[in-house]
Chains A and B, each alone.
Chain A
Amino acid sequence: MNVNLSRIRLIMMREWTHRIRQRSFIITTAIMVIVALALVLAPTVISAIWGDDNGDADADTVIVADQTGSDGFVDQLNAFANASGLGDAVVFLAGNADLDPADVVSDGDADGVLTISRGDGGALNFIYTNDDGELDQTAVLAYSAAGEITLQDNLVRAGIDAEQAQQVNTAPVITVRSSDGQAASAEDTEEGFRYSIAYIAALMMYMMVMMYGMWVAQGVVEEKSSRIMEIMINAARPTELMFGKVIGIGMSGLTQILPILLVAGVGLFSQERLADALDVTGIEFSGIDFGAISTSLVVFFLVYFLLGFLLYAALYAGVGSLVSRQEDVQTMMTPMTFAVIIGFFGGLYTLSAPDSLVARIVSIFPLTSPMAMVPRVLLGDPAPWEIALSIGLLAATGYLAVVLAARVYRMGVLMYGQKPSLKVIFQRDRVTAAR
């Protein structure tokens, strides 16, 4: 097929520049950027407004008033906090033996005071003072630490040497497991994050195909109802018109999506700083590991977006060519909408069972693969030939869809208000010319 690239470029640029200059495009994009930013920042901002107002972003400080005269308790306490995984949340500091706990707490110099003394029998005595006397996380930590320190102290006082006492007093190793037998671990957090990325990828693919596919359909119907089609078809080949239109609208879509992703990304990165600034605690950011988004993944997503969009946009354009009035677009689009939704469900299924037979099929079948293969690459282990087959099939189907859509479009020029039959669509050179 003899296709003129400079004409495709012209049509593409017209679609792109004309569309992104429209007020409706600018306003919609601005609103979407704001909504995305709001969604990303919502947890932090909401905590800042409604969260605990005692909250400081730093760790709780506990001043230790050691009246026993022996030092080392502060180190032991901090070591215990670290071993319990709360090293960042609670810090024990040495203070004067004779400070007034109530004063220290009410002045706000510390979140709590741990007073250590010895009773008549030499046994250790602990008093923990905080502002409301409640058993909060820090109090529980102090309580547990006190238990361990007391045990060690008792052993030493019973005549066992310190090193042996240490060994006897080894803290138990406790692992918290979930019911599926997987240990909660850092790897798990990463897995969760990959899952989120996979879900977002499928969802975005679905939304973009749906939204921008609709733009293509509306663009075609606009050309039909404004009757400019007849001029366009005279100046350029239908295939050129189709490729130019689909690529141009795809670019408009990316022009809308990229600022949104950029702002959302910046929002995520600046979360911690924002949390600091707003004095918010208790939000876990450590699970967000952008390392999971590799360059190859981004490229992968883009390839599937471009090819998947090509396929779906061509189908939308073909269906749009059968419609004469803007009002009829929605009705005619219903089957298309179903196809996209089925694709999305295919993607969702892949999330739960990435290497199952169904997932393998939907990640290769062209209408579902854009929404299923990216999650599968993230969560499962597709064979290279599967990926190659999937991309190849998608590209071939996309190309065929464009050519077919071009033919329907071509024929639509001459048929206003009547429904062309499938037979007519496939007839060459009869109602439609070969151009």
Chain B
Amino acid sequence: MSLSIDRVSKNFGDFRVIDDVSFDVQQGRMFGFLGTNGAGKTTTMRMILDIIRADTGTISWNGTLTSDVSRREFGYLPEERGLYPKMPVDDQLLFLAQLYGAERQAAQRSLDHWLRRLDIEENRHKRVEQLSKGNQQKIQFLAAVLHDPEILILDEPFSGLDPVNAAQMEDAFNEMKVQGKTIIFSTHQLDQAQKMCEDVAIIHRGGLLITGDVQSVRESTGQKILRFGVQGEADLAWLDRYPAAEVRRRGRDHVELRIPDEELAQRILRDAVAAGKQVERFEVTVPSLNDIFLTEVQGSGASAEDIERIRASSSGEEAA
């Protein structure tokens, strides 16, 4: 039971947008589709929905080509948000749900539920253009779920949401997951994906870099991350003695290093203690998705500019 993307390629003119991409999304999983802007996330999602068709390769849901799967099975939140600006929220959502094939009564019940759930009940009769951006996005999300689809394809669902709205959206995702829905969402915020997803696929410049469950992806390189702090020393210049350890960031009270294995971390700790230094922080973790992404992108020969952009888009402190 899965959505299977099998050796899919797509050209726009002479430009290869998607190059031989394959991955599976298991039914009922929360799946993060990751990559920088322009990596091909939106194109792949459109191909899953059969809005555009792959040049080669197939995309199937439980063995049936997605082009032959009933539209009712799919809920779609496009990257370019779009609703009828002058139409009232409730009319609009009921219309779209019915267009997807839902019964009016069921859609109505679902609408009541979700408006309460997302705390936007007072906007029920307002025209969409009268709503704040965050609320419009919630409505856009409802447009994707009211007809009770099996697969949710959500393109950058968190972009432009404030923390409160983002948290509500996350809750909504989890509710859909509890109902057994398959959720595929794209994002370029890798720390968020790491927090929410069970499985991920990372694509870059149209090619798949890595896919799998979050833990195995993070462990895929075998490398570790060491956060190391010594009282009274900010730069820890002596760490240069260990060529295998790559300093990734110098924080206010600690340094973050990428190390090939746990053994090196122990050696650094022993050496520091032996030198009579007072170690205040010693933390060994698996790399974050962001680390993996940077490693993979560097490995795939990305430009310095690409890497800079990825660094800038990831937030400061990564959760372990």
Q: State whether A235 touches B99 (Cβ < 8 A).
A: yes
Tell me whether B154 is interfacial, beta carbon within 8 Å: no
**How distant is B156 from chain A, measured CB to nearest CB, in Å?**
13
Distance of A231 Cα from B67 Cα, bound (Å): 15
Given contacts A10-B99, A435-B50, contact A234 B81 (CB under 8 A): no
Chain A positions within 8 Å of B96 at CB level: 231, 235
Tell me whether A46 is interfacial, beta carbon within 8 Å: no
Which of A196-204, A221-229, A251-259 binds B?
A221-229
Distance of A435 Cα from B51 Cα, bound (Å): 8
Interface string of B70-109 (1 = CB under 8 A from A): 0100101010111111110001000110111000000000
Distance of A386 Cα from B84 Cα, bound (Å): 44
Q: State whether B99 touches A227 (Cβ < 8 A).
A: no
**How distant is B138 from chain A, measured CB to nearest CB, in Å?**
15
Interface residue tally on A, bucketed by range: 20 to 34
Interface string of B261-274 (1 = CB under 8 A from A): 00000000000000
Q: State whether A227 touches B78 (Cβ < 8 A).
A: yes
Which of A138-146, A295-303, A426-434 binds B?
A426-434
A14-55 contacts to B (CB < 8 Å):
14, 18, 22
Select the residue from B12, B51, B84 with max chain A CB neighbours within 10 A: B51
Q: How many residue pairs bridge A and B at CB < 8 Å?
A: 67
Chain A positions within 8 Å of B98 at CB level: 10
Distance of A405 Cα from B72 Cα, bound (Å): 25
CB within 8 A of A227: which of B51, B80, B87, B100? B80
Chain A positions within 8 Å of B78 at CB level: 227, 230-231
Q: State whether A414 touches B67 (Cβ < 8 A).
A: no
**How distant is B209 from chain A, measured CB to nearest CB, in Å?**
26
Chain B positions within 8 Å of A414 at CB level: 46, 51-52
Tell me whether A325 is interfacial, beta carbon within 8 Å: no
Distance of A429 Cα from B46 Cα, bound (Å): 14
Chain A positions within 8 Å of B86 at CB level: 18, 22
Q: State whether A231 touches B50 (Cβ < 8 A).
A: no
Given contacts A10-B99, A235-B71, contact A433 B80 (CB under 8 A): no
Q: State whether A434 touches B80 (Cβ < 8 A).
A: no
A118-142 contacts to B (CB < 8 Å):
none
Q: State whether B67 touches A433 (Cβ < 8 A).
A: yes
- How many residues of chain B have a CB within 8 Å of chain A? 27
Select the residue from B52, B78, B99, B100 with max chain A CB neighbours within 10 A: B99
Tell me whether A274 is interfacial, beta carbon within 8 Å: no
**How distant is B137 from chain A, measured CB to nearest CB, in Å?**
13
Tell me whether B7 is interfacial, beta carbon within 8 Å: no
**How distant is B46 from chain A, measured CB to nearest CB, in Å?**
8
Chain A positions within 8 Å of B190 at CB level: none
**Closest A residue, CB atoms, query B91:** A18
**How distant is A348 from chain B, measured CB to nearest CB, in Å?**
38
B31-75 contacts to A (CB < 8 Å):
46, 49-53, 67, 71, 74
Distance of A116 Cα from B170 Cα, bound (Å): 108
Distance of A231 Cα from B140 Cα, bound (Å): 10
Tell me whether B297 is interfacial, beta carbon within 8 Å: no
Given contacts A414-B51, A433-B52, contact A234 B71 (CB under 8 A): yes
Q: State whether A230 touches B95 (Cβ < 8 A).
A: no
**Closest A residue, CB atoms, query B98:** A10
Tell me whether B25 is interfacial, beta carbon within 8 Å: no
Tell me whether B143 is interfacial, beta carbon within 8 Å: yes
Tell me whether A114 is interfacial, beta carbon within 8 Å: no
**How distant is A412 from chain B, measured CB to nearest CB, in Å?**
12
Distance of A216 Cα from B51 Cα, bound (Å): 23
Tell me whether A113 is interfacial, beta carbon within 8 Å: no
Q: State whether B67 touches A435 (Cβ < 8 A).
A: yes
Distance of A7 Cα from B87 Cα, bound (Å): 18
A181-225 contacts to B (CB < 8 Å):
222-223
Q: State whether A431 touches B83 (Cβ < 8 A).
A: no
Distance of A232 Cα from B95 Cα, bound (Å): 11
Q: Which 3 A-B pairs have the closest CB atoms?
A: A227-B82, A228-B82, A433-B53
12 example contacts (A-B, Cβ-Cβ < 8 A) are as follows: A10-B99, A222-B84, A226-B82, A227-B78, A228-B83, A230-B78, A232-B99, A233-B51, A234-B71, A234-B74, A234-B76, A433-B67
Sample of 12 further A-B pairs with CB below 8 A, known A230-B82, A236-B99, A433-B50? A10-B99, A18-B84, A222-B84, A226-B85, A229-B82, A234-B71, A236-B71, A431-B12, A432-B52, A433-B51, A433-B52, A435-B50
Binding site for A on B (CB under 8 A): 12, 46, 49-53, 67, 71, 74, 76, 78, 80-87, 91, 95-96, 98-100, 143
